[in-house]
Amino acid sequence: MRSVRTNIVAMIFLLTCATQVMAQGISRPSGFGVRLAFWNITNQKSSFSLSTDVTNVNSSVSMNGFGSYIYYFSRFQSNIFFETHLGAFAAGSWSLTDSEHDNVSMVIPLLFGLRWDLLPGKLPTSFQPYLTIGGGPYWNTEISGSSQNIVQNEVLVETGTRLGWYAGGGMNLMLASWFALNFDLKHHFINYEQNDDFSGLETSLGFVFMWGAKKEMFRIQDVRVVVEDIYPAYYQFYNSYPIALVSIRNTAGYDIEVNVRSVIKGYSLRAKNSGYFKIRKGQTRDIPVHSLFGTNLLQMERRRSAVLDVEVEGKAGHKITKSASAQLTVHSRNAWDGAIDKLGVFLTPEDQEIREFTKSIRVDDTEEMQQLPDNLKFARAIFSELVQHKLRYHPDPNIPFYMDDRVQYAGETLQRGSGDCDDLVVLYATLLESVGIRTAFVEVQDPEKPIAHVYLMFDTGLTPIEGYRISPNDKRYVIRLRDDNRSTVWIPVETTLVDRGFEDAWRTGATAYLEEGKIRNGLADGWVRIIDHE
Amino acid sequence: MKSLVIFIALIPTHFLFAGNDAHIAEMSGEVKVRRGLDEHWQAAKPGLDLDALDTILTGEKGEVRLSLDGDVNFTLGANAILDISDLRRISRQELFLIITSEKIESLPPRRSPGSLHINNVNVLHGAKKTDTGRPKLNSKIEREWQQHRNGGIDLLQQDFYTNAIIKFHKTLKTYVQVKDCGEIYFYLGQAFEALENEGQALEAYSNSISENDEQACQDAPSAHRREKSEKALQRLKR
């Protein structure tokens, strides 16, 4: 007895666990089934009796409502299905000896109803209990008479149709996404006449085949690439800024959680997970996709195309994984998209080569120079060193569409001995930052000029009323409010004048700032912008 | 009526200096000019042409009348400093953009330890800009502050309201450590009120009162200014 019980428990366990792959409720939208059923139409006991005595052999058979169903269902919404049943039931009693008492009742129900699957599909089980309700016409035929009388046309046939309804429940046991065993229990409410009540319980057992597209937990609707062009110089920026958005629709009919794993093969350090985002049933959510880049990206010598692979894992009791991809372009290490607020990423003040360069610079220690603040002394000395190196301004050539606008790193400009305005600004800012002087870029997009320009300003560290230490003319400097709520004096420098010395570069930078930024209102109108960087 | 007042208020700025032609029409006393980014002052003389980047300075008894674009005059009184570019045409919209872009309204607090305190600032709008009752200022910084303030007051008195606002803002920004008992804010309030910019005027008068409400600001000019600021606040709130 104990082993039987153990076997039953083990079987249930195996059925529950081993078929988790089908555990998404009824995953297919349509199905067709067959059931064998028992429905006690006439409210009599089914029996077979045989009795013999000396003179007679009496035998009778009484059968009270065996039949079968074929049925079809189709998903209405989520866990609710339309059902159509066509059944045939027969009940009757036959006496093999008493031909006067034969009668047969037949019921043919055509039923339309709804079925509600009770468990959300996210439960990892293959058992799918449900409730049903519906109704329809029940055709009834009753034949009574005897077999001899049938020959003599002395048979009484009564037919009728009544509308009735049913309510009940049952269970599907999913053995595959397309096949399930079915157990069903219904109570029919059908009363033909006052004394002819067919109401009663019907029990059936059968199987069902299902077809149609499997119901999905989620759908990847779109992979929208936010950053189609990957610039190696901004690699740290991409680690915190999404490069794409994956639009995911929850089609499960219950809340799910999704994690997006992304990688750009050959470029990413490793795959990056978005972490789990909850998506409510029926909702669509954009999940940001990040990529994890490292300094390896800075080895890129030329522009190449790359593929962003995303793998979406949906979770709700069980897990489903889908993938998608999108194409990107990875540019060369010197490529720049022209966005001035990102020019700062080309600064490399920590580079050994830069540190050694600034370390070797000697600050003029004359009495005149001693009056100046340290930042100005250093800035002047660094600029003079660049003049000594015979650095030259050399504008970029016209850039064809297949080439990137490029910015040289400070070390490259020092080696080449020339650069355009952005190269020289990057060089000078890098050198200043390497000795701890804060810098900012000044971008000028003069509406009256065809091309934009950039120069820089640096922080002297002096307060506004100490400005006289730099110059008695306050037009030569700019007072800026720092983020620590202190105003300090900054000096604009036109770095393209690297061959003419610091004084000229300062004077030209200050004049440009006043004329374009202040007098022509470029700062207020937004075509002169100051971009700080850390 | 309101639009007429605005129109009248805008007339002076509308015809202001466009930056093409300015020269010294008349002068008396000590008047100096600094060219562009030069560091030295040179003596001015009548008829001298001025550039937008030039600066003009008057001594204790100096006064200069400037002719702007041939048909607008501006007189800079004694002991004042003014950039020629401060006389450029600035519309109300431009003023708003300039103030917004510089975020001048978020100036740092002017209560730092060791701040420079200037007593008995007695210059009021409509009053002669003399320093009666005020101790002599020896500090170079205080003198510069006073010259900038006086330049701003000249702009205000001659109805160059938007220019005066820019000048006062620049003065506040440069001389953060100068404690003036709310004087610059008081003039800012008057300039904004003249432009019917009630919100900014209220803010400026409020700042003036808050900086004027201290033990160190109990002299008569400060008290007079405080009284006028409070009346202005009541008037504006109505």
**For A128-170, how does the pLDDT look when each residue is reduced to its tens digit (9 = 90+)?**
899 999 999 999 888 877 655 555 556 778 888 889 999 999 9
Report the residue from A485, A487, A515 with minimal CB separation from B173.
A487
Under the banding of pLDDT at 50, 70 and 90, the label for residue B15 is: very low
Of residues A141 and B71, more confidently modeled? A141
pLDDT digits (tens, 9 = 90+) for B43-60: 999 999 999 999 999 999
Mutation target vs A (from B16, B17, B39, B53; most A CBs, 10 A cutoff): B53
Helix (H) or strand (E) holding B205: helix B198-212
Q: B96: which residues sit within 8 A by CB, 6+ positions away?
A: none
**Chain A residues inside the 8 Å CB shell of B109:** 485
B82 to A343, A449, B49, B205: CA distances (angstroms): 37, 30, 15, 24
Structure-token pair, residue B186: 């008081």
Residue of higher predicted confidence among B142 and A149: B142
Could you tell me if B81 and B148 are in contact, meaning their C-beta atoms sit under 8 angstroms apart?
yes
A479: number of Cβ within 10 Å: 19
Q: What is the ipTM, given to two decimal places? A: 0.76
Beta bridge partners of A478: A490
| B20 inside 8 A of chain A by CB | no
Architecture of domain A340-532: Roll (3.10)
What are chain B's domains? 17-87 (no CATH), 92-106+113-237 (1.25.40.10)
> Does B55 contact chain A (CB < 8 Å)?
yes
Question: Could you check whether A2-49+58-211 and A340-532 share the same CATH topology?
Answer: no
B4 touches chain A (CB under 8 A): no
Contact: B109, A467; criterion CB under 8 Å: no
Along chain A (534 residues), what's the average pLDDT of each consecutive run of 10 residues? 73 57 68 92 62 62 85 90 94 68 84 91 79 94 68 71 93 88 93 73 94 85 90 87 93 88 92 93 92 88 91 86 92 89 91 91 79 91 92 77 79 92 95 94 91 93 88 92 79 95 95 92 89 80
Burial A162-186 (b: 16+ CB within 10 A, else e): eebbbebbbbbbbeebbebbbebeb
Q: Is B106 on the interface with A (CB under 8 A)?
A: yes
| Nearest-by-Cβ selection for B108 from A476, A487, A524 | A487
Identify which of B19, B101, B178 has the shortest CB distance to residue A519: B19
What is the residue-wise DSSP string for B107-147? PPPS--TT-EE-------TTS----TT-PPP--HHHHHHHH
pLDDT at A280: 93
Pick the more confident residue, B213 or A48: B213
Interface test with B, best of A469, A475, A494 (most B CBs within 10 A): A475
B126 touches chain A (CB under 8 A): no
Asked whether the beta carbons of residue B175 and residue A464 sit closer than 8 angstroms, the reply is yes
pLDDT of residue B115: 40
B109 reaches A (C-beta below 8 A)? yes
Pick B176's closest partner by Cβ from A464, A471, A526: A464
Query: What pLDDT is recorded for position B105?
Result: 39
Tokens at residue A47, please?
């029996």
Q: Which residues of B touch A515 (CB under 8 A)?
A: 52-53
Q: What CATH class does A2-49+58-211 carry?
A: mainly beta
Q: Is the pLDDT of residue B142 over 50?
A: yes
Contacts of A467 in chain B (CB under 8 A): 174
pLDDT tier for residue B176 given thresholds of 50, 70 and 90: confident
A372, A442, A465: which to substitute to probe chain B, counting the most B Cβ within 10 Å? A465
Helix count and strand count (H, E) for chain B:
7, 10
According to DSSP, the β-strands at A418-419 and A392-393 are parallel
Mean pLDDT of B106-110: 44
Q: Which chain B residues touch A485 with a CB distance below 8 Å?
A: 108-109
Residues of chain A in contact with residue B52, where contact means CB-CB under 8 angstroms, are: 515, 519
Give the span between the Cα atoms of A391 and A172, in whole angstroms. 82
* Chain B interface test: which of A470, A481, A531 (most B C-beta within 10 Å): A481
A481 to B107: CB separation less than 8 angstroms, yes or no: yes
Q: Which residue has the higher pLDDT, B121 or A158?
A: A158
Query: How far B87 CA sits from the closest chain A CA (Å)?
Result: 10
Average pLDDT value over all residues in chain B: 78
Confidence of residue B103 (pLDDT cuts 50, 70, 90): low
Which residues of A fall within a CB distance of 8 Å from B173?
Answer: 464, 479, 481, 487
Tell me, what's the pLDDT at A433? 95
Domain ranges of chain A: 2-49+58-211, 218-330, 340-532
Contact in structure between A140 and A105 (CB atoms under 8 Å):
yes
Within an 8 Å CB–CB cutoff, is residue B18 touching chain A? Answer: no
pLDDT tier at B191, thresholds 50, 70, 90 = very high
Question: Which residues of A fall within a CB distance of 8 Å from B111?
Answer: none
Mutate to test the interface with A, among B90, B174, B175, B180 (most CBs of A within 10 A): B174
Q: What is the rounded CA–CA span in Å between residue A306 and residue A240? A: 20
Task: Quote the pLDDT of residue A96.
Answer: 65
- Mean pLDDT, rounded, for B172-184: 86
User: The domain A218-330 belongs to what CATH superfamily?
Assistant: Immunoglobulins (2.60.40.10)
Q: Residue A521 and residue B140: Cβ atoms within 8 Å?
A: no
From CA B156, how far away is CA B192, in angstroms rounded? 10
**Distance from the Cα of residue A174 to its chain's centroid:** 29
Is the confidence at residue B42, as pLDDT, over 90? yes
A518/B85 CB distance under 8 A: yes
Crossing angle for the helix pair A374-388 and A502-512, to the nearest 10 degrees: 110
Size of interface A-B (CB pairs under 8 A): 72
**Interval A355-382: pLDDT, tens:** 999 998 888 777 777 788 999 999 999 9
Nearest partner of A280 among A319, A320, A253, judged by Cα: A253
Write down the pLDDT at residue A323. 93
